Structure 1
Amino acid sequence: MFSKGVCFLFILTLRAIGSAQGQDDSLLVRRTLDSATRLPDDTNKVKWFIEKGRATADYFDARKEENDFFQEAITLGQRLKYARGLANVYNEIGTSKRNKSQYILAADYHEKAIKFAEETKDDRLISISLNNAGVDNRRMDQLQKAFDFHFRALRAAEKANDVRSICVAINSIGNIELSTEKYTDAIGHFTKALTLEEKNNNDLGVAINLGNIGYAYQGLGKTDLAIEFYKRSLAVNQRLKNNTGMAICYNSLGAAYQEKKDYTRAMDALQKALEVNDKVDDKVHMAESYLNIGKLLSRQGKHEEARKYIQQSLDLSLYWGFRYMLMEGYKALSADYKASGDFRRSLDALDKSLAYKDSILDESTAMVLAQTRAIYEVDRKDNQIRLLEHDKELGELRTRRNIVYMFSTAGFLLMLAVGGFFYIRHRNLEANRHTLQLELRSLRAQMNPHFIFNSLSSIHRFIWSNNQEEASDYLTKFSRLMRMILDNTQYTFISLNKEVESLRLYLDLEQLRCNNVFEYHIRVADDIHDEEVMIPPMIIQPYVENAIWHGLVHKSGKGVLDISMSLKGRTLVCVVTDNGIGRKRAMEIKEKKGETHRSMGMKVTEGRINLIRKINNSRDTSVIIRDLEDENGNPAGTQVVLTLPVELIF
């Protein structure tokens, strides 16, 4: 008595805990749904509903209710006309219905998913939806329709290069061919799917396709080949520790060995299937293994032993409610009694088998009716939603029309005022820009005579202080440089390679002029296509000239001039570095010589840079001059960082 009382209290406690847990889950779902009201009604909200629907699927399945999150996703998706979201949610609901064997409903939802997927023109989504519909129809034995869906899915998946969907489609087509006894065609498709699964290291897919090829060879009567593929599939399942897969393989091997009348190996395989099935949660496989062993023993004439195994299958099926297995079990029991000459018991068993067959048919009919009603209700609800949305849109259109009438006149007048303001402003800006361009041309015109004057003075000194051969070489380079300058300064922008070439000519002349007291290096970054980058002409030369004549010529020892160029976005960064005497020492030398005027070239170039900054409205255009020092704080040269806007040909 005490033991029974404790047990009763324990059951009551469990029920209370389960009830409390159910209330907690229900409250959590309700709170989650309520929290959605704070989210804006957009496509992200549809995705959020779908994610929550997946997460709460077990909760709604346990209560045998429609998933509220999926329903909200459909309502909002239709309002937003969000085809991708609707395709995804219909796929989710359809797959959920298929998992409950509600194939008619599943097919209806998946066909809706196809319609919206095709609106997105996303081949991957289309192939997933088509494959889902194909599986639904295959489960309902509508094989031609299933084949059409999978074939369309294959073509879409190949366009999207979606290997997973390609494998599903090919494997499904193979299964349809297997069902229609087109075994050779099935082997071709399974082999193709097997190759893809091996290439993508999907061992489970490999195991499934190996087993399917085995079924096809067994259908062709090539039992030995079938056994070979079953064994290969078994090996992969054993490596994966996939108990369900191992059980299927052992059952297949048992059937194949039985076909060869190798009853010892058949029994060994079926016993192994039974052992593995003990580790599988779905006990229908165990019931099937008991039944297969019973049939094998009955075929060998071991009727008493056969009935024990068949009865174990019946007991297990009765406990778990496997009506199909009960029908098959009583059918096998009837055949065994008949084989042993016990016709009365054979008829009794056959009557029970037929009773279960009738109940399965009744349930199937009721399920079809229920699913048809459900489809009607879903379509009716969808139509209601569409009608409500249509009425809402009409109301919104009327409101918008009235608002448009109210503000159109005011808007037109405002547009006139704003347009007039911007026209006058644009005209003034163009005038200012034109003025700045004229000033820039004027400064370029000043730049050329200044440079030519300095160069001619250098030639004059060079001729008087050097021999004729060097003078001739100097004049040749000078004439080339003059030609480049006259050509380049006609344009606002020239290519970087032309600017670099003119710089090299200028530096070669200055090296000759200064008796090679310095050396120079010009480095252009590897990622710069110097034919495509355009910069203002003669913009770098004045800083190079300043580095030579105020820094390097007064240095004791070898002078070095480095010029480096790099591109940052649409600006060119040019760094001119010398190891000369520095600006402070250069100023002292100028004061001793009594030179107080400022370099004309530097003054003109600064004016050009200021105008370039104004024309381009760019803060990036700049010149930064740094005094370099050695470790002891002594002057070690000067560095000029020149940042310029560039134009790109492409």
Structure 2
Amino acid sequence: MSSKGLIFTIIVFLSLWMRASAQDSLQVSRSLDSVRKMPDDTAKVNRLISKAKGLYRFYDSRGQDNAYLQEAITVAQKLRYAKGLAEAYNELGTSKRNRSQYLLATDYHERALKSAEDARDNRLITISLNNIGVDYRRRDMLEKAFDYHFRALKAAEKDNDERSIAIATNSIGNIKLSDNKFHEAIEVFNRSLKLEQKRENDLGIAINLGNLGYAYEGLGQLDRAIEFYRQSLAVNEKLNNTTGMSICYTCLGTAYQKKKNYPLAMEYLQKALAINDKVDDKIHVADSYISIGRLLNEEGKYEEARKYLQQAIDLGLKWGFKSTLMEAYKSMGDNYKRAGDLTLAMDNNNYSILYKDSLLREKSSIEFAQMQTLHDVHQKDNQIKQLQQDQDLSQLRIRRNLALAIALAGFLFMLIVGGFFYIRHRNLQANRQTLQLELRSLRSQMNPHFIFNSLSSIHRYIWSNNQEEASDYLTKFSKLMRMILDNSQHTFIPLNKEVESLRLYLDLEALRCNNMFDYSISVEEHINEEEVLIPPMIIQPYVENAIWHGLVHRKEKGMLDITIGLKGKVLEVTVTDNGIGRKMAMEIKEKKDRMHNSMGMKVTEGRIALIRKINNTKDANVEIHDLQDNGQATGTRVRIVLPAEFLF
């Protein structure tokens, strides 16, 4: 094939691969969008978790967190659905563990345990405890691992959960094995084996038989070890489990090597090598070469041993298997030492030490990176996670579009489109920041205006009332002042804080007006006042306007009603008074002070206009209605509509 033909073939292959990848991304994105359209309930959470279990390979191949699990966690937290949270955190922790991110896995599994305990679900508690135990075992923290597996065992026995009992028992046996407590390990593995036989779980039977072989080999009882390895091999062959068969062949080879039966040891090691080569698992192929090389070293076949060890080194260098290179160079050093070439033995041992040090540095670096990630996870709230998830999905869509563009128009067109989107995104960000600064400036105008009015009220109140009432008024005002200053630091505050400051303000105004009006504030029952967010001091100017331009001019006692409701993602606040109405209020205002303008109302109108701009929505406005009865003014109703913001 000519070089041009080869290049054309490569381009076609890459185009097809990128098209398939883009189609996969599009399919996953559309599927997630369809689930997101479901109402936020427990069925949606369970659906997301179920879909997530089939997409681990998709997200792992892209180095991304599973977006379905992230969405499930967000919805479950919003619903306070502890069982769903436990399920999702367990799945997320296991996916982290499968990628060797053990610190993160432990954190997520501990969150799962807390949620399972909140849900009082013993099955999930047991699963979470076992998961945490495995995490600690992978980190060689055997005491903690034993503690969690033992707790899992007790919880499983309480519910007679045979599967979890078997898992916990086997894990405890592995801990005993790692701690060289072989007699105790044998006792535990036998107990686990009986449980798996009762459950007719062949894979569990094969694993426990192999573990019993390890324990007897550790005790030096090689014949019994070989017997269990053969039994495990038979079950793995029945299951056609190539990984289990490879492990058994290697164990048998090692055992016969210790018995000095080198021909039989070589036979089993070659079988392991053949199986590893079939499954294309290069690291296992390299391990088989090392095992064969070590066996040949013991037989004194140094030249032949070097060939196998060199093949392991070549694979290690090609694929970057540092642990393989460490062991291969160590065995090569032993080879030259046995052959009497101490210089080459020293050189190979030095290479082995270099890779060992590199592995230690890499492990420390990985653990540090995970600790940093863990810190970041704890610093972010659920709202940021939701935004990050949306951003990830947006990136998937962009990649899909880019891949299609490459297949259709080539690299140059792709570069132009990418540049266009980058510039557009940067400009949008700049505009958004500008609007945020304008909104912050208007908010800073709002608070001084309110404080000025309040101080004027205090001044008049002190001169017209006794000291005890003035002191009470000042106490309430100082508390309100502190709340205003605290709230003014934030663009949005929880609804309960806004309501609290509003009640305090109304109490002050009622005192100031000699209780000329009553008021009520009602929030719909389904609203979580701690999670719904609202701009600070957004309602107060309309309440103030209702009092001073409507209610104070009544001859009888007036009434002010404030209702707060949530419809979908729109927050509605209604301020209703039974005052004199806007027309008569305007006439009184013109007689008293033609030059006065309501600064608070203007600033608030500006704030709402900017909120409408920032969110690019029409769901941010103010409607004012005059209330009438048979042509007579009976008050005013102000309806404030804002896009809803949520803490989670």
Counterpart Cα distance in 1 of 2:8 and 2:157? 61
Give the structure 1 partner of residue 113 of structure 2.
Answer: 114
The answer to whether the 8 Å contact 2:133/2:146 transfers is yes
Shift of 1:131: 0.8
Q: Distance in 2 between matches of 1:267 and 1:115?
A: 51
Instruction: Point out where structure 2 has 5 or more consecutive residues left out of the alignment.
Output: 386-489, 503-519, 526-559, 564-648
CA distance in 2, matches of 1:383, 1:224: 57
Q: Are 1:214 and 1:226, in contact at CA under 8 Å, matched by a contact in 2?
A: yes
> 1:279-294 residue pairs with structure 2 within 5 A?
279-294=278-293
One-letter identity of the residue aligned with 1:203: D
Please tell me whether residue 391 in structure 1 is matched to residue 471 in structure 2.
Answer: no
Taking the TM superposition and a 5 Å limit, the aligned residue runs for 1:402-441 are: 402=523
Decide whether aligned partners of structure 1 residues 389 and 139 sit closer, same or farther in structure 2, where only a CA change above 3 A counts: farther
Rate the CA distance shift 1:264–1:97 in 2: closer, same or farther, 3 A.
same
Shift of residue 395, structure 1, vs aligned partner: 6.8
Once residues 107 and 234 of structure 2 are traced to their aligned partners in structure 1, the CA distance between those partners, rounded to angstroms, is 39
One-letter amino acid matched to 1:323: K
> Aligned residues, how many?
407
- The code of the aligned residue for 1:322 comes to F
Q: 1:492-532 deviations in whole A, cap 9, x for unaligned?
A: xxxxxxxxxxxxxxxxxxxxxxxxxxxxxxxxxxxxxxxxx
Verify: 1:379 aligned to 2:482, yes or no.
no
Larger radius of gyration between Structure 1 and Structure 2: 1
Query: What is the Cα deviation at residue 133 of structure 1?
Result: 0.8
Structure 2 CA distance, aligned partners of 1:396 and 1:21?
54
Task: Name the aligned partner's letter for residue 494 of structure 2.
Answer: D
User: Which SS does the other structure have where 1:66 is aligned?
Assistant: coil
Residue of structure 2 in register with 1:582 after alignment: none
> What are the within-5 Å matches in structure 2 for residues 583-602 of structure 1?
none
For the residues of structure 1 that align with 2:36 and 2:246, how far apart are their CA atoms? 49
Instruction: Look up the equivalent residue of 2:522 and give its one-letter code.
Output: R
Contact 1:243 1:279 in 2 (8 A): no
Which residue does 1:342 correspond to in 2? 341
CA contact (8 A) 1:75 1:385 kept: no
How far the C-alpha of 1:3 sits from its partner, in A, is 2.7
Superimposed CA distance per residue, residues 435-470 of structure 1 (whole angstroms, 9 cap, x where no aligned partner)? xxxxxxxxxxxxxxxxxxxxxxxxxxxxxxxxxxxx
Distance 2:495 2:71 in 1: 18
Q: In 2 relative to 1, CA 295–41 (structure 1 residues): closer, same or farther, beyond 3 Å? A: same
Unaligned runs of 5+ in 1: 409-650
RMSD, aligned CA? 2.6
Q: In the aligned structure 1, how far is the partner of 2:38 from the partner of 2:58?
A: 23
Report the CA distance shift for 1:304/1:197 in structure 2 as closer, same or farther (over 3 A): same
For residues 312-351 of structure 1, what are the alpha-carbon distances to aligned partners after superposition, in whole Å with 9 as ceiling and x for unaligned?
2222233333221111111111111111111222222222
Cα pair distance change 1:243/1:55, threshold 3 Å: closer
- In 2, the alpha carbon distance for the partners of 1:353 and 1:44 equals 55
Higher RCO (C-alpha under 8 Å, 6+ residues apart)? 2
Quote the offset at 1:390 in angstroms: 9.3
**Cα gap change, 1:390 to 1:273, in 2 (>3 Å):** farther
Structure 1 residue aligned with 2:143: 144
Given that 1:230 and 1:252 are in contact with CA atoms closer than 8 Å, whether structure 2 keeps it comes out as yes
Structure 1 Cα separation of the partners of residues 30 and 494 of structure 2: 30
> Residues 540-578 of structure 1: CA distance to partner in whole angstroms, max 9, x if unpaired?
xxxxxxxxxxxxxxxxxxxxxxxxxxxxxxxxxxxxxxx
- SS of corresponding position for 1:401: strand
Q: CA deviation at 1:220?
A: 1.3
Structure 1 distance, partners of 2:217, 2:15, is 54
* Contact 1:98 1:106 survives alignment (8 Å): yes
Amino acid in structure 1 at the alignment position of 2:76: G
Partner of residue 415, structure 1: none
Q: Given the two structures, how large is their TM-score scaled by the length of structure 2?
A: 0.60
Deviation at residue 94 of structure 1 after TM alignment: 0.8
- Distance, in Å, in 2 between the alignment partners of 1:240 and 1:396 is 66
Structure 1 distance, partners of 2:521, 2:227, is 73
Q: Deviations over 1:143-202 (max 9, x none)?
A: 000001100111111122221111110000000000111111101110011001111111
Q: 1:166-205 maps to which residues of 2 (within 5 A)?
A: 166-205=165-204
SS of equivalent residue, structure 2 residue 12: helix
Verify: 1:158 aligned to 2:157, yes or no: yes
- Amino acid in structure 2 at the alignment position of 1:125: L
What SS is found at the alignment partner of 2:380?
A: helix
1:54 offset after TM fit, Å?
Answer: 2.3
Q: Is the 8 A contact 2:522 2:562 kept in 1?
A: no
2:69 partner letter: F
CA, structure 1 residues 281+401, in 2 after alignment: closer, same or farther (shift >3 Å)? Answer: farther
Identical pairs, percent:
52
Alpha-carbon separation, structure 2, partners of 1:99 and 1:11 = 33
Task: Give distance in 2, aligned partners of 1:273 and 1:74.
Answer: 43
Amino acid aligned to 2:174 = N
1:131–1:149 contact (8 Å) kept in structure 2: yes
- Inter-CA distance 392–171: structure 2 relative to 1 (3 Å threshold): farther
Q: Distance in 2 between matches of 1:187 and 1:94?
A: 30
CA spacing shift, 1:388–1:288, aligned 2, 3 Å: farther
Q: Does 1:312 align with 2:433?
A: no
* Aligned with residue 401 of structure 1, among 511, 514, 522: 522
Q: 1:41 to 1:390 in 2, by over 3 A?
A: farther
User: What is the TM-score normalised by the length of structure 1?
Assistant: 0.59
Aligned to 1:135: 134
Question: 1:73 aligns to what?
Answer: 72
Aligned to 1:270: 269
